[in-house]
Structure 1
Amino acid sequence: MVRGKDGRLTAYAAVEGAVLRWTEKQPGGPDWSGPETIPAPGNDPHVCIAQGADGYVHLVGLRRTRGDGGRPVTEVVYALQYQSGLAVRSWETVGNPFPDDPEAAARIGPPSAVVDATGSLHVFVSDPGGGVRHRAQVASGKWNRWADLGGLRITGRVSPALLDDGLMELLAPTPQHLMRWTQPGAGVKFTRAPDVPAAPEPASLSRVATGPGRLTHLWHDRGDRTVRAWRAAAGDEPADPVPLGDAGGSGPIALLRTRVDGHDCTVMVRRDDATGRPAIAAYPTEEESLGASWTPTGEPCLGAPALAPDARGRVVVAAFATDGSLRVARQKAEPGLALDAWTAV
């Protein structure tokens, strides 16, 4: 779920051969339009949403089709939405790191993406050897060659992020640790940074900017499925992840840095293992040592809940109910982080 330049929220869901889209009818809601169907023939039911400072939304997916003689063709593709509620442009190909090897091409991981400070799209995939491949768009709209960033035994989706200084950071899970890459300077190639001592659930990595040039990364631990937070220490000195609560969850954690009762807080939403419901928590930003308490809310949901601020600055949580319908809850106009009743869109 993202907020457009006009202040309206948009929610997306990937299904077989399409992406569904819901859009607020006016900034701040409460009414929504949709679902609208964005055709995506051949695409896997997974979409990565990357938004730039200009508000443009890039939908990035993996398309599987057949070429000449029935040859399987696997390509990373993207489509661009310029404004909330307007038509999405046709899917364009980003390609594949293995264009001449259909078997290897079919085994790349689902794409992740980030838009840099110049508005250029960067796409990342894991490769069959357990490494990371990266392709960047340049200002003219053309694409650089795929770059091999290295890596070994990567088991899940790569997690790229843009810092407030315009540099990028990249994490990727392995069975023993998190591999990490950083950019020493603008336009400079990625370099390996020290590994992070953690064993996350492969598809659970999330991150949020929490200070000048700083990201805080969160995930579900592979062992007890609790949330762990980690941030690079000064000078990239070793730092251990910090637990946030003792309840187990699954999938990526939706994150939002916002003010709650005047305090700088990080709000988190994830799917609770015990109940299957969304669960919400918050803590003072970068003060993980204070811990966090998770509160289930709403009905059982499918997949991971989403989180965004609306045009009035209220926290909005969205999730798909077990019947597939989109449900939304907004922060109440009162102190604290209490939510209004969930409504079906």
Structure 2
Amino acid sequence: MTDQVADRFTTDDHFDHFNTYVERTVRAMRASTARDDERRQRPANGEATDLTGRSHAVLSGPWLLPGHDGRLVVYAHVDQAVLRWTESRPGGPDWLGPDVLPAKNVTRLTVAQGRNRYAHLLGRRVRGGDGPLTVDLVYAIQYQAGRPMSEWSSVGNPLSGPGRSASTGLPAAAVTTSGTLYVVAPTAHGHLALRREDAQGRWEPWLDLKVAAALDTPAAVATSTGHVELLAPARGGALTWFQRQPGAALERGHDLGVVPLPGSVTGLETSPGRVTYYLTDVQGGQVVAVRPGEWPVPVGGSPGDGRHAALAATIDGYTCTVLAHRDTEGRVVVGLCPAEDERYGVWWTDTGIACLGDPVLALDAFGRVVVLAVAADGTLTLARQDDGSGLTLGEWIRI
């Protein structure tokens, strides 16, 4: 548990007091979402609409990131483009967009952000006609909220040749405190390859991470202390990598005693230099919190097959972790617990909002929690933490 919370809760009685506080907050959240029942979404068609009135199926995302000026920015990947919405002013509630950012032949996308608030869009680009497909990894950067994005540039591919390059999957990305971009891509036969920038911003050669058991794109986390960590699902557990010093080579850590569902893992820095991973346990089917060197902690929930969202937030002076996922019924579920004390329980609430894909979380310019998801009709919908005590979500609105 963090020092801030530990100073205030040092006995079981004190934790009982915190439990009562969170339970009261969850009841308020449920009451708030019940008032939104009449506004629940129409049957799904999986499409979003851009400024031209064209409809697009959302291929990946969305992502919700804070811009350099405090405005939140939303990205959604559609066919041949990335749609971008930007808050009209910090804290909303109005939005500008969507802006249509070309992404020709980019079939899959991920977005990462550094502490300088630059957004790095990293994708898998496929080219080729009737012959073998050629795949390379490409990236673009948005430096300022609402401004044009850079041109797409190639990161290359750790596997050369048209036939072999198609075996490279969707990469993960992390941006260090110094602004260095790390790219980790799954390749054939369970291998992972790493490429990163050097101190001058030039790409170093691809590096084989010497593993042959990875089942999915890893979760990559850059910490406030300058380190990068990785966790990759494997058949018998979870594979980890760490750095002894910022900028050092990634080393294999101890395997973790839990088998993650591929595509479910999210890493969050829950205290300086310390990462907690949240994932769906294949064996138990529930959410698990795990930190390197510690036993996994089951925390309940009813997750579907998607990725978990995790956010560090201060709620009424308490350092907390906020979680969100799409449950087995297709609805957004939000959880709350003291930071790094998941063993005392995560309090879950079903928002009642149906969604497509995975919900995401962010803090707005005023430190309020924002939950964003693709609604059942394919539009983007979000709820923002109400003013006042507790984590009570306001009305869900469409952007």
TM-score w.r.t. the length of structure 2 is 0.82
Query: Residues of 2 paired with 1:161 and 1:241: CA distance?
Result: 18
TM-fit CA distance, 1:56: 0.8
Q: Which residue of 2 aligns with 1:148?
A: 208
The C-alpha deviation readout for 1:9-66, integer Å capped at 9, x for no partner, is 011111222211111111000001122221111111x321111111111000000013
Moved over 6 A (4+): none
Asked if the contact 1:227–1:249 (Cα under 8 Å) also holds between the matched residues in 2, the reply is no
Which residue identity is paired with 2:356?
L
State the 1:98 CA deviation: 1.3
Between the aligned partners of 1:250 and 1:32, the Cα distance in structure 2 is 30
Q: Distance in 1 between matches of 2:78 and 2:210?
A: 32
Task: Give me the CA root mean square deviation.
Answer: 1.5
Sequence identity, in percent?
41
* C-alpha distance in 2 between matches for 1:10 and 1:246: 28
| Greater fraction helix | 2
Corresponding residue of 2:98: 35
State yes or no: 1:337 paired with 2:388: no
Structure with the larger RCO, 1 or 2 (CA within 8 Å, 6+ apart): 2
Q: 1:250 to 1:338 in 2, by over 3 A?
A: farther
1:190 aligns with 2:250: yes
Amino acid at match of 1:271: R
SS of 2:164's partner is: helix
Q: Distance in 1 between matches of 2:123 and 2:385?
A: 32
Shift of 1:298: 4.5
Is the CA contact 1:306–1:317 (under 8 Å) kept in the aligned structure 2? yes
Report the counterpart of residue 178 of structure 2 in structure 1. Answer: 118
Amino acid in structure 1 at the alignment position of 2:303: G
Q: Is the 8 A contact 2:260 2:282 kept in 1?
A: yes
2-side partners of 1:192 and 1:21: how far apart? 37
1:217 alignment partner in structure 2: 277
Aligned with residue 307 of structure 2, among 252, 267, 275: 252
1:154 alignment partner AA: A
Runs of at least 5 residues in structure 2 that lack an aligned partner in the other structure: 1-63
Q: Say which of 53, 56, 63 aligns to 2:125.
A: 63
Amino acid at match of 2:103: A
Q: Aligned with 2:145: secondary structure? A: coil
Which runs of structure 2 are paired with 1:1-345 in the superposition (5 Å)?
Answer: 1-44=64-107, 46-66=108-128, 72-99=133-160, 101-233=161-293, 239-274=294-329, 276-345=330-399
Report how far residue 186 of structure 1 moved: 2.2
- Between 166-175 and 222-231, report the one with greater CA deviation: 222-231
Greater Cα radius of gyration, structure 1 or 2: 2
Query: The residue matched to 1:243 in structure 2 has which SS?
Result: strand
Between the two proteins, the alignment pairs up a number of residues equal to 336
Amino acid in the other structure paired with 1:62: R
CA drift at 1:246? 4.2
